[in-house]
Amino acid sequence: MKKSIGIDQLEVGMYMEADVKEGAKGGASNKNVLLLGKGVLITSANQIRRLKAAGLANVIIDTTKGKDVEGGGGVPVAPVIVPPTQREPRKKALAPGRTVEYKEEMKMARKTKAAVNAALKNVMESTALGGVMDKQKLEIAGKLITQSVFRNVDAMVGLTRIKEHDPYTAAHCVNVCTLVLAVAFADGMDQSTCEMLATATLLHDIGKTKVPLEILNKPGRFEPHELQEMRKHTVYGEEILREMSDVTEEMMYIATQHHEMWNGTGYPHNLTGESIHRFGQMTAVADVYDALTSARVYKPAMPPHFALSRIYGNKDTEFRGDIVDLFIKALGLYPVGTLVQLNTEEIGIVCEPNPLNTRKPKVAIILTRYKKPRLVPFVVDLAEENAQEKREIAKVMDPTKFNIDVEVYLKRVAG
C-alpha cells in the first residue's frame, strides 16, 4: 500500500516511492541535485537528515516493500495509472481515388462479390430456362459493385484472383465486370457512367445461356464444330438483348463485340480499330486476362504478371494501345496473386497492391530463403522505410514450379 507520511515519521527500513531533488522543494541550494531516486529503501539515518535538510514536509512510502508507520498512520495515496507511451501507428496516405483502406473495403468487397455473383447466376439460369430477365436486379448488382470500386478499386480487383466456376460462367462475368470498371475508373469515368457500364458488362456473356451445356462445360479442348458453336454466344447474346426492354446501346456493343480484336482477327464480324466500340475493346482485354489467369483441365492458370505481359505484347495488334496502358495501370506491375522472389531469396505472394508505388506492394512470405515453407505467412510491406532487410522484388516466379496454390495462401492471409 502506498501512503503519504510526514517527514518526521520516516524511518530506516521504509521504502520511498518518489524522486527527491535538492532545491526542488525549497531547500537552500538551487542545484536541483538528485538526493534519492524513485524506489529507494531507507537504510541510514543520514538519508533521512538529507531529506529533512532539503525542506521536505511529506514523502510517499510503499508498505508492501518496506516498513509501515507504527500504528498504521499516514494518508493512503490512490494509485496513479500511467498508460504506457505508445507510438501512434503511422497511417499511410490513401492513394488518389481511394476513400477507405484496402483491408477495410476487402471485407465489404467479399460480401458484394458474393451478392452480385448470386444475383447474376439467378438471372442467367432464368434466362437459360426461357424466363424473363430481371433487369432491376442487374442494375442493383451493377450499383453495388461500382460503389465498391469507387471506395477502393484495389479490393474488388484483388478478389478477381480468387476463381470460382459455375455452369453459366457468372463468376467470370463478375470478374470481367470488375476489371472493366477498374479500367473505367483509371480512365476517369464518373460513377453514373460506371454503374451503367457495370450492368452492361455483367451481361457480356449472356449468350452462353443458349450454348448447350455439354459444350459449355466441356473439360477439355473444343472440337472444331464445338468451337464454332461456342463462338456463336456473341450472336446469341444480341438475340437475347433485342428481346429485352430498355436495353442500352452499350449493352449491345459489349455483348456482341467483346471478342473483336483491334487488328480484325476477332469474331463474329472481324471488326477493326475504331469500328469496335470503346466499351467492347475494354471488355475484350478484361475477358482475355481473366481467361488467361483461370485454370482449365488442359492448361494451368497463367500467373497474373505473365498474363499482363502477354496482353502488353499484343498492344496495338489485338488490343487498343491506350486501353492496355490503362489496364496495366489499374492492376499494377505486380497484381495480387503474383508469386515473387525477393532479394533475400525468400518466396512470397503479392497480397495487397500499392497504387502509390506499384513496385512495392505488400508480400506474404511463404517460403524461407532456404525454400522451407513458413507455418504462417509473414506479411511484409515493401514500401515501409524500415522494412526488415530492405526487401525488394527480384523476379516473378511460376507457382506451378513450386507446386504452390496461390489462392489457398491468399485466402489464408485474408483470414
Ranges of each domain in the chain: 2-76, 102-331, 339-414
Question: How much is the pLDDT for 30?
Answer: 46
Q: Quickly state the pLDDT bin for 220 (edges 50, 70, 90).
A: confident
Stated pTM of the model: 0.76
Least confident of 233-237, 248-252, 352-356: 248-252
Least confident of 66-70, 165-169, 275-279, 349-353: 165-169
388, 363 contact by CB (below 8 A): no
Q: Distance between CA atoms of 341 and 349, rounded to whole angstroms? A: 9
Query: Which cell is 69 given?
Result: 508507520
Q: Distance between CA atoms of 322 and 120, rounded to whole angstroms? A: 30
Is pLDDT of 389 > 70?
Answer: no
| Torsion of the alpha carbons at 163, 169, 174 and 175, rounded to the nearest 10 | 40
Question: How much is the pLDDT for 18?
Answer: 63
Q: Distance between CA atoms of 377 and 342, rounded to whole angstroms? A: 14
314, 372 contact by CB (below 8 A): no
Furthest-apart CA atoms within the chain: distance in Å: 108
Q: Distance between CA atoms of 378 and 186, rounded to whole angstroms? A: 31
Question: How much is the pLDDT for 61?
Answer: 86
Question: How much is the pLDDT for 36?
Answer: 61
Average pLDDT (261-278) is 97
For the stretch 309-346, pLDDT in tens is 999 999 999 999 999 999 999 999 999 999 999 999 99
Q: Which residue has the higher pLDDT, 13 or 372?
A: 372
263, 272 contact by CB (below 8 A): yes
Question: How much is the pLDDT for 50?
Answer: 80
The contacts of residue 144 (CB under 8 Å, 6+ apart) are 112, 115, 116
According to the 3-state scheme, what is the secondary structure of the chain?
CEEEEEHHHCCCCCEECCCEEECCCCCCCCCCEEEECCCEECCCHHHHHHHHHCCCCEEEEECCCCCCCCCCCCEECCCCCCCCCCCCCCCCCCCCCCCCCHHHHHHHHHHHHHHHHHHHHHHHHHHHCCCCCCHHHHHHHHHHHHHHHHHHHHHHHHHCCCCCCCCCCHHHHHHHHHHHHHHHHHCCCCHHHHHHHHHHHHCCCHHHHHCCHHHHCCCCCCCHHHHHHHCCHHHHHHHHHHCCCCCCHHHHHHHHHCCCCCCCCCCCCCCCHHHCCHHHHHHHHHHHHHHHCCCECCECCCCHHHHHHHHHHCECCCECHHHHHHHHHHHCCCCCCCEEEECCCCEEEEEECCCCCCCCCEEEEEECCCCCEEEEEEEEECCCCCCHHHCCEEEECCHHHCCCCHHHHHHHHHC
Which fold would CATH assign to domain 2-76?
Answer: Molybdopterin biosynthesis moea protein, domain 2 (3.90.105)
Query: Which cell is 197 given?
Result: 457500364
Q: Distance between CA atoms of 227 and 259, rounded to whole angstroms? A: 13
Q: Distance between CA atoms of 184 and 295, rounded to whole angstroms? A: 26
For the stretch 29-64, pLDDT in tens is 444 545 565 567 787 888 888 888 777 788 888 888
Task: Report the sign of the C-alpha dihedral through residues 233, 236, 240, 246, in that order.
Answer: positive
Measured CA to CA in angstroms, residue 288 lies from 284, 293, 387 at distances of 6, 9, 36
53, 67 contact by CB (below 8 A): no
Cell 486501353 belongs to: 323
For the stretch 67-115, pLDDT in tens is 888 877 777 766 655 455 555 555 667 888 999 999 999 999 999 999 9
Least confident of 93-97, 250-254, 296-300: 296-300
Q: Distance between CA atoms of 263 and 315, rounded to whole angstroms? A: 10
Question: How much is the pLDDT for 27?
Answer: 46
Question: How much is the pLDDT for 244?
Answer: 84
Q: Distance between CA atoms of 123 and 244, rounded to whole angstroms? A: 13
Share of the chain above pLDDT 70, in %: 89
CATH classification code of 102-331 = 1.10.3210.10
Average pLDDT (369-386) is 87
Average pLDDT, the chain: 87
> What is the identity of the amino acid at 298?
Y
